[in-house]
Amino acid sequence: MRFIKPVVTLAFTAWAYSLLAEPVASTDIYMVDGDTADVGDDRYRLVGYDTPETYKPKCDFEKALGTEATRRARQLVQEAGTVDFVILPGRDKYGRGLARVFLHGEDLGSILIAEGLARPYAGGRRKSWCK
């Protein structure tokens, strides 16, 4: 019985995402950086992952990797044509909405993590990108 709750929670989460997902044309999304997107007049923090900063980076390495993460995120979104944009409840500390982007069923963050351009992030203090 101990395993039922995580499975039910995961199933509910997937079901809720499918209900909340809104197809959005790639041309209607502007990737500000690897983990921030503008849709219309609204700005969203894409949750579940962190990419290096391009605005006020702490070192040259962070700037270079952040620039590449931004370039790649823009490329993936544009090539998808249409993405599933899932708006989540709440806001981050900067007032941005929270969201996830799915490209043909795959989370944008998961792709960037697999390519070494992002790392998993669930809130709290972020690790430095500088070596």
Any domain includes 14: no
Any domain includes 89: yes
Higher pLDDT, 131 or 107: 107
Q: Give residue 87's pLDDT.
A: 95
Any domain includes 45: yes
Domain count of the fold of the chain: 1
Any domain includes 52: yes
- Give me the domain span that covers residue 66: 22-121
∠ CA 109-112-117 to the nearest 5 degrees? 125
- Output the domain CATH number for residue 111: 2.40.50.90
Any domain includes 17: no
Any domain includes 7: no
Predicted model pTM: 0.83
Any domain includes 32: yes
Rg (CA), the chain: 15
pLDDT digits (tens, 9 = 90+) for 71-113: 999 999 999 999 999 999 999 999 999 999 999 999 999 999 9
Q: What is residue 37's three-state secondary structure?
A: strand
